[in-house]
Amino acid sequence: MYDVIIVGGGPTGFMLAGELRLHGVHVVVLERDPEPSPVVRALGLHVRSIEVMDQRGLLDRFLEAGTRHEAGGFFAGILKPWPAHMDTEHGYILGIPQPETERLLTEHAVGLGAEVRRGSEVVGLSQDDEGVTAELADGTEVRGRYLVGCDGGRSAVRKLLGVGFPGEPARVETMLGEMQVSTPLDELTAIVTRVRETNPWFGVGPMGDTFRVVVSAGDLQQDRTPPTLDDFQRRLVAVAGTDFGVHSPRWTSRFSDATRQAERYRVGRAFLAGDAAHIHPPTGGQGMNLGLQDAFNLGWKLAAAVRGWAPDDLLDSYHAERHPVGAAVLDNTRAQVQLMTPEPGPQAVRRLLSELMDFEEVTRHLIEKITAISVHYDFGAGHPLLGRRLKDVQLKNGRLFELQRTGRGLLLDQTGRLSVRGWADRVDHVADMSEELDAPAVLLRPDGHVAWAGDDQDDLEAVLPRWFGA
């Protein structure tokens, strides 16, 4: 029996597998497709995901494979200067194609000992008090103590669990692909710039040795079959007046503006994460990032349950914390979609918002939403840092994120007189100082969120069992 079965070998699934293997959890990833997908749906990592990679010692690999962009405000495609003094040491977007992100996370998880079984489609689920059984299309079964569905927006796991997926159905559909073009770049750029004045969704631009093409499909396809080259040529002519001489497609795909969220992220010993738990239009580039952060929240909690020290309600806190975050992302994408429609009313609001974003605090507020550095879990009343993630502060003897590579809890103690006796197998204690930390000491969960701040040992010992067991 495995400790955890992960259904779905995308970025969310492999992020979760890596988190579980940090704690020695026996994990298998079941992926339906025999080979990794070449489709580039996500184009990069936002600030919080970049921080996550730094916290686990992966950032150098991602920086080597990607490109840093100090982009300005990009809410609904409205470009403004990046706000000064963002609450992060990583004030940039990291441009990196989704297949590269998936490759790096796969290498990380497999390097830590995760097992991967490709060509394994889950068609049935059952669970009891001891674990979950996944039935595969070939008639075999896989048994685990827990199971997590990371299998995308059409999640088989979600359907097999009977979890509702309320929201808004697709109204428009967009075609996406990589292919070659014949039109000279300066001419292409001029046409794209003109079209985007009234159609912000449209795009044709260089991406490595090919061009990324994004154009409205014009109708809804129920079977979701990939569009053909002829489909692209026809729609490009309709929207831009030319097909740019597109040819030699590398891959093609479709996405819609459907917006839905799972009613529950947990059913007994089974969980949902990533697109299996929420889908929304790609405005703001938040989808993959949201899934990575789901996995970062869930991984250490599942590991605690497997190891036997998880408090009774720790697994329930996954839904309690991440469902509101997902709902907030769905709301901001709904707003952005409205601002990107060509009707006079939404365009008037768009012009007004563009004026407001000239105020730096407005841009900061919107960017913090999209980059997820404003996420605040409700841990009750207390210190202003409580429930928030702590940025990478500089210490006298290094920096904070270097101390979080193990995936354990951390007591960062500037007083030098506190203790985690009784929890030392789950929580590291570091006595060090930082001019950037406005608290005598902080207790950080493995996901970097502040569980406690103060200087009283009794208060600390009252909080430790809540997150790290008895």
Q: Is residue 328 part of a domain?
A: yes
323 shares its domain with 237: no
Q: Is residue 25 part of a domain?
A: yes
Q: What is the pLDDT of residue 28?
A: 98
418 shares its domain with 457: yes
158 shares its domain with 58: yes
267 shares its domain with 248: no
Q: Which long-range contacts (CB under 8 A, 24 or more apart) does 215-220 make?
A: 215/174, 215/175, 215/239, 215/240, 216/172, 216/173, 216/174, 216/175, 217/172, 217/173, 217/174, 217/175, 217/254, 219/173, 220/170, 220/171, 220/172, 220/173, 220/256
Strand 67-69 versus strand 132-136 pairing type:
unpaired
Q: The domain that contains 434 carries what CATH number?
A: 3.40.30.120
**What φ, ψ does residue 316 adopt, rounded to 5°?**
-65, -25
81 shares its domain with 117: yes
Rounded Cα–Cα distance for residues 392 and 224 (Å): 42
Q: What is the pLDDT of residue 343?
A: 87
Ordered per-residue pLDDT tens for the chain, 470 residues: 999 999 999 999 999 999 999 999 999 999 999 999 888 888 899 999 999 999 999 999 999 999 998 876 678 888 888 888 889 999 899 999 999 999 999 999 999 999 999 999 999 999 999 999 999 999 999 999 999 999 999 999 999 999 999 999 988 889 999 999 999 999 999 999 999 888 878 899 998 889 999 998 887 776 678 899 999 999 999 999 999 999 999 999 988 889 999 999 999 999 999 999 999 998 888 999 999 999 999 999 999 999 999 999 999 999 999 999 999 999 999 999 899 888 899 999 999 999 999 999 999 999 999 999 999 999 999 999 999 999 999 999 999 999 999 999 999 999 999 999 999 999 999 999 999 999 999 999 999 999 999 999 999 999 999 999 99
Q: 108 and 292 in contact (C-beta within 8 Å)?
A: no
Q: Is residue 352 part of a domain?
A: yes
Task: Give me the number of domains the chain comprises.
Answer: 3
294 shares its domain with 180: no
Q: Is residue 385 part of a domain?
A: no
Q: What is the pLDDT of residue 73?
A: 64
Q: Is residue 387 part of a domain?
A: no
User: For tokens 């020290």, what's the residue?
Assistant: 309
Q: What is the pLDDT of residue 82?
A: 86
Q: The domain that contains 230 carries what CATH number?
A: 3.30.70.2450
Q: What is the pLDDT of residue 223?
A: 65
Q: What is the pLDDT of residue 79?
A: 85
Q: 149 and 29 in contact (C-beta within 8 Å)?
A: no
Q: The domain that contains 57 carries what CATH number?
A: 3.50.50.60
87 shares its domain with 120: yes
Q: 247 and 178 in contact (C-beta within 8 Å)?
A: no
Residue at 301: amino acid letter: K
Three-class secondary structure of residue 290 per DSSP: helix
Q: What is the pLDDT of residue 155?
A: 97
249 shares its domain with 292: no
The last residue of a domain, from among 195, 225, 256: 256
Domain containing 39 equals 2-167+260-371
Radius of gyration of the chain (CA): 23
367 shares its domain with 229: no
Q: Is residue 346 part of a domain?
A: yes
252 shares its domain with 269: no
191 shares its domain with 94: no
